[in-house]
A and B are shown apart, each in its own frame.
Chain A
């Protein structure tokens, strides 16, 4: 029984990580930007949803309010995503990496200084509302939305931006609109994942969501392969499972993980899936 619970817990982590990896893949993979502040959106979602369930909602309504709180956390993160999207109109590549990194640090530092939510000590008091149903539910919603986004007008625009932004604009892609939507959707799901994680481990602190966490998500994305939903699913799963399997090695497992990433980049630089997609994610009329 204990082993089963353990496996269920790992499966829930995998689900949350899939949400994180696919949503980051939208910006870093499909649109070819380099965002390194994904944990900042997670933090926003985690805190907003936790504040709602702990402070606003009476206990007997918690089960009903939980999905709404998660959505509220996602929306709050999406709002920040909108703000981050604005500098991305002009800056690309390294400069956007700095903007997103600075964003991550600003959010973390701001929460550390708000004493009413616990500051640097963190925030607790959430019930364990995240269960396998909600994780699976949100994972499917996330995959569905992002898959449809990718094969919509906007998704093609994002692919065009990755190839060449100037040419995309010449081909009448509204690059600003595409970027805004990509950032909003991506950050929304990062916020959702943050909310789910907060109600799973029942404790959040700003230092959980710093640049190290963002790097973990980056590793998942590039391990699985950019611009591929199947890649993100694989990357998140392998990352989570491998860390658990290697647990007997204690600290050394954290040494092996980056080594795998380095060797993958050296011998298969496009990641495991390498721009390929699982056939059922591709719309029927486009399958070859």
Chain B
């Protein structure tokens, strides 16, 4: 039982990281119906910004987190402005390929600048609490807490502010919204800024939890988070949160039963099964195509 609770806590930690990244995928998809394959690399850049700030400026945790989020969201907005916006009217596939290209570019640029994996020094004091035999660290509780807070903020923005209303309107119908006096470009930029900031936050928390970072770390994590978003039903914000946490749970519990080298095998097989049973995802609406 204690073991189970401990694993549940680990699952929540990993799952909330996946959920934060999945939110970025799902928000961009909801608005542009485009998979931003570079998002996993935004997450990687977040981890590297964290590394830079820790090693060269020795900043404490909160400024690191905020600056990384800011940096990554600037990156997201810039990438959208330079690479994605000119392709808004092009076929969907060109945008996806461009996103793949941006992702590879970011990976290899980071690799060219820092060829060796980097070690992120500890930022947080290593405090561990023990409640009824279940241990949890400051980092774990911060990760889970931060994920919950960020998701609540995001939920508030999307549901209650005028920007959020505009975002939902754009995802509903891109052609009508400009007639209502809403600048679609601005809304899309804001979406990218928000989504990338969440990815950056996940990057920082990931780098603190798993301190060896390398330029390709975003590829697998990004794809897994994307799968989480799809499981939840892509385009749906609650779905991305739930999907990310499900994915984290599957990974943690499969490694606690089987050898860890089976992790990817088990989690991907389970995901395929889930998609076979419910192809539109948990919260996704089954779209009937209009002819």
Contact = CB atoms under 8 A, between A and B. Distances in A.
Interface stretch (A15-23, A196-204, A257-265): A257-265
Given A109-B268, A255-B108, A94 B97 contact: no
Contact of B93 (A34, A103, A112, A259): A34
B43 interface: no
A132 interface: no
A101 B264 CA distance: 12
Interface residues of B, number: 46
Contacts of B112: 250-252, 254-255
B101 A219 contact: yes
Interface residues of A, number: 43
A152 interface: no
Interface stretch (B59-67, B152-160, B197-205, B222-230): B222-230
A270 B104 CA distance: 20
Interface string A241-272: 00000000011101101110110011001100
A103 B272 CA distance: 9
B9 to A, nearest CB: 26
A99 B223 CA distance: 12
Contacts of B263: 109
A87 B276 contact: yes
A262 B86 contact: no
A113 B262 contact: yes
A95 B279 contact: yes
Given A109-B262, A259-B105, A266 B279 contact: no
A218 B275 contact: no
B35 A109 contact: no
Interface in B36-77: none
A106 B268 CA distance: 7
Given A34-B93, A109-B261, A269 B87 contact: yes
Interface string B231-250: 00010000000000000000
Interface string A199-227: 00000000000011001001100100010
Nearest to B91: A269
Contacts of B264: 105-106, 108-109
B253 interface: no
B102 A251 contact: no
Given A95-B275, A109-B265, A113-B261, A34 B227 contact: no
Nearest to A170: B291
A124 interface: no
Nearest to A252: B112
Interface in B246-291: 259, 261-265, 268-269, 271-272, 275-276, 279, 289, 291
A34 B280 CA distance: 17
B194 interface: no
What's the dominant secondary structure at chain A's contact region? helix
A91 to B, nearest CB: 6
Given A218-B97, A222-B97, A258-B104, A102 B268 contact: yes
A218 B101 CA distance: 10
A108 B269 CA distance: 12
Nearest to B86: A266
Contacts of B171: none
Contact of B291 (A87, A112, A119, A166): A166
A168 B108 CA distance: 41
A261 B97 CA distance: 8
Interface centre among A91, A215, A250 (most CB of B within 10 A): A215
Interface string B122-161: 0000000000000000000000000000000000000000
A101 B101 CA distance: 17
Interface string A85-120: 001001100110111011101101110110000011
Contacts of B219: 211-212
Contacts of B275: 87, 91, 95, 98-99
A99 B272 contact: yes
A212 B265 CA distance: 18
A270 B105 CA distance: 20
A258 B105 contact: yes
A12 B29 CA distance: 40
Interface of B: 29, 35, 83, 86-87, 90-91, 93-94, 96-98, 100-105, 108-109, 111-112, 115, 216, 219-220, 223, 226-227, 230, 234, 259, 261-265, 268-269, 271-272, 275-276, 279, 289, 291
28 contacts: A94-B234, A98-B271, A101-B223, A102-B269, A102-B271, A106-B264, A106-B268, A106-B272, A109-B261, A109-B264, A109-B265, A112-B261, A113-B259, A166-B291, A211-B223, A215-B100, A218-B100, A254-B111, A255-B109, A255-B112, A257-B104, A258-B103, A258-B104, A261-B97, A262-B102, A265-B97, A266-B98, A269-B90
Interface of A: 34, 87, 90-91, 94-95, 97-99, 101-103, 105-106, 108-110, 112-113, 119-120, 166, 211-212, 215, 218-219, 222, 226, 250-252, 254-255, 257-259, 261-262, 265-266, 269-270
Given A212-B219, A254-B112, A255-B108, 9 more contacts: A94-B29, A98-B271, A108-B264, A109-B262, A222-B97, A254-B108, A257-B108, A258-B104, A266-B83
